Amino acid sequence: MNNQLSPISWQALLKKSIVWGIWLFFLAIVQTSFFSVLRVFGAVPDLVLPAVIVIAVYDRERMGTIAGIMGGFFADALGGSGISLLPISYMICGIAVALLAYSVLRRDFASWFVGILISLAVNGIFSVVSVFLSHKNASFGFSDLFSRLLVPQFFASLLLSVPVYFLTKAIWSRFFDNREMEG
Amino acid sequence: MSKFLKSRFFIISLLLAIVLVTVPTVLSIMGQGDYVRSALGVVATPFRYVFTSVAESIDGFVSYFGEFDRINAENRILKDKIAELENKISAAEAIDEENRWLYGYLGLKREHIDYEFEAARVVGRESGNYMTVFTLNRGSMHDIEPNMPVVTEDGIVGYVSEVGMNWCKVVTILETASSVGAYVERSGELGLVEGVYELKGSGVCKMSYLPSEADIRVGDVILSSGIGSFYPRGLVIGKVTELVPDEYSRTLEAVVEPAADLSDIRNVMIIRSFTAYTEVDGEDGTEDE
């Protein structure tokens, strides 16, 4: 079995990692500062995950993985406390959407939209797990958690994910071209 | 798909992700922060400060309008409440005024049990400078007839000069057409209180036909005598404010200020019937007007 991936320039991978790292870090800052004051539907929208999904859709598994880990780590480092599973959950979302986009779907807005819907749902599950792990002694009703946390977070993130998509695509166009894409 | 999941890259990435999850979590449980997170926090803090400040400014701006709307709505509610309270105060003032008037009316009724009153309200005034002719809201349908005396709890106002179905006009004692048989309460000196054109503007009238040696002083109370006029005996007309001797006719004239405040009169009583005083029967006479 050949476990070697298609060859890619480590220099190009490093360049992409730096650019996307800065962008994801910036989004994590905006998410944890600006939108922690101006909440949408009473929740802080997730700006990092939509960007991770854009990168995964347009730059395949490897960058999807790196972006997922970086994005999760930044979001966790700036906004998380206690137990956080974001690096793992974002990485899983990034890989899954990248694989889906390149095997079943196409590299376009529709694929990204499907990807973001799935990712937000998966991330919601991870949020519930994180909440239960972080607050073992507290008594949570799932319906309460669903209505107060998951639904507002889902729709706030979905709403803000559209501008994030276009901004991330604009950065893509500014720094990279299609020839730099994997595969 | 399986190719990627079995690749060295994926395995390293997965291990890295697990490390990035577990190390901060363990350090957090131990109550310690890791250096990487701290460094990221240091870098992010100035930017977060800027973004938070911008967000707070926007939030403040939005809240201002939200607050403005709330204050505006509250202002409307308060205005409605003020209007409602003003109406209540106005109604209470009217009731208070009516109460005071009825109290006076009751006093007058006690003093003159033979009087049959008809309460009336002033609905119109006719005068260029001074209120000397009033229109009341009572008329023939209330059994009001011309020449009936009109009084307040303070004293005589005038008499009914003209009657409609639901209105009547009252000529006050200040008018030149008015004359009231009167006497000085303290001394019993008789005279006639008349309206004088020259004095009407000052809101006073004149008591004439007093002998020059009459026992009358400034401040004396003048009452109706019940003789030769429409008014029953014993009603207060007013007080003497000035005495004017007439050297040619050897008589005395007194300026009388009406007891009833004719400049601000709202409620009056029309005396529909009373026991008339006659010189033959004295005060016990029972002749109805």
d(CA A59, CA A55) in angstroms, rounded, equals 5
Q: Determine whether the interchain pair A26/B16 forms a contact, defined as Cβ–Cβ distance below 8 Å.
A: no
* Smallest CA–CA distance from B56 into chain A, residue: A37
Neighbours of A135 (CB within 10 A): 12
Domain extents in chain B = 118-273
Tens-level pLDDT at each residue, chain B (289 residues): 567 888 888 888 889 888 888 887 777 667 666 677 777 777 887 888 788 788 878 877 777 777 777 888 889 999 999 999 988 888 888 788 777 777 777 777 777 777 888 888 887 766 444 447 778 888 888 899 988 999 988 889 999 988 888 888 888 888 877 888 999 998 888 999 988 877 877 889 999 888 888 889 999 999 998 887 788 888 899 999 999 887 777 888 999 999 988 877 878 899 988 876 555 444 443 444 4
d(CA B237, CA B81) in angstroms, rounded, equals 45
- A8 neighbors A62 (Cβ within 8 angstroms): yes
Collapsing DSSP to helix, strand or coil, B75 comes out as: helix
d(CA A1, CA A36) in angstroms, rounded, equals 48
Q: Determine whether the interchain pair B7/A5 forms a contact, defined as Cβ–Cβ distance below 8 Å.
A: yes
CA angle A176, A181, B1 (to 5 degrees): 150
pLDDT of residue A55: 92
pLDDT of residue B237: 93
- State ipTM: 0.78
Q: Determine whether the interchain pair A26/B54 forms a contact, defined as Cβ–Cβ distance below 8 Å.
A: no
Digit-coded pLDDT (tens) for A87-126: 888 999 999 898 888 888 777 888 899 999 999 998 888 7
Q: Determine whether the interchain pair B9/A65 forms a contact, defined as Cβ–Cβ distance below 8 Å.
A: yes
Residue B6 is nearest to which of A3, A38, A88, comparing CB atoms? A3
Output phi, psi for A67, to 5 deg. -65, -40
d(CA A83, CA B277) in angstroms, rounded, equals 109
Q: Determine whether the interchain pair B51/A34 forms a contact, defined as Cβ–Cβ distance below 8 Å.
A: yes
Residues of chain A with pLDDT under 70: 1-8, 80-83, 134-140, 177-183
pLDDT of residue A4: 53
Q: Determine whether the interchain pair A28/B21 forms a contact, defined as Cβ–Cβ distance below 8 Å.
A: no
In this structure, the strands spanning B267-273 and B149-151 are antiparallel
Q: Which residues of B touch A88 (CB under 8 A)?
A: 17-18, 21
* Smallest CA–CA distance from B42 into chain A, residue: A78
d(CA B136, CA B164) in angstroms, rounded, equals 10
Residue A37 is nearest to which of B36, B50, B56, comparing CB atoms? B56
How many beta-carbon pairs under 8 angstroms link A with B? Answer: 96
* Smallest CA–CA distance from A85 into chain B, residue: B21
pLDDT of residue B287: 40
- B139 neighbors B167 (Cβ within 8 angstroms): yes
Q: Determine whether the interchain pair B44/A88 forms a contact, defined as Cβ–Cβ distance below 8 Å.
A: no
Burial class (CB in 10 A: 0-12, 13-18, 19+), A137: exposed
Give me the sign of the Cα torsion angle A57, A60, A61, A62: negative
Note the Cα B148 to chain centre separation in Å: 30
Question: What domains sit in chain A, N to C, each tagged with a CATH number?
Answer: 10-180 (1.10.1760)
d(CA B150, CA B174) in angstroms, rounded, equals 13
Largest CA distance in chain A: 53
Residue B58 is nearest to which of A1, A38, A69, comparing CB atoms? A38
d(CA B266, CA A39) in angstroms, rounded, equals 65
Which candidate in B26, B51, B54 is best for mutational testing of the A interface (most A CBs within 10 A)?
A: B51
Burial class (CB in 10 A: 0-12, 13-18, 19+), B88: exposed
For the record, the structure tokens of B210 come out as: 């007093």
- B273 neighbors B288 (Cβ within 8 angstroms): yes
Give A123→chain B minimum CA distance, Å. Answer: 15
- B276 neighbors B232 (Cβ within 8 angstroms): yes
Q: Which fold has domain B118-273?
A: Thrombin, subunit H (2.40.10)
pLDDT of residue B157: 92
pLDDT of residue B130: 46
Residue A76 is nearest to which of B3, B24, B43, comparing CB atoms? B24
Give B19→chain A minimum CA distance, Å. Answer: 9
- B208 neighbors B253 (Cβ within 8 angstroms): yes
List residues of chain B with CB under 8 Å from any CB of chain A. 1, 3-10, 13-14, 16-18, 20-21, 24-25, 28, 36-37, 40-41, 43-44, 47-52, 54-56, 58-59
Digit-coded pLDDT (tens) for B60-117: 777 777 777 788 888 999 999 999 998 888 888 878 877 777 777 777 777 777 788 8
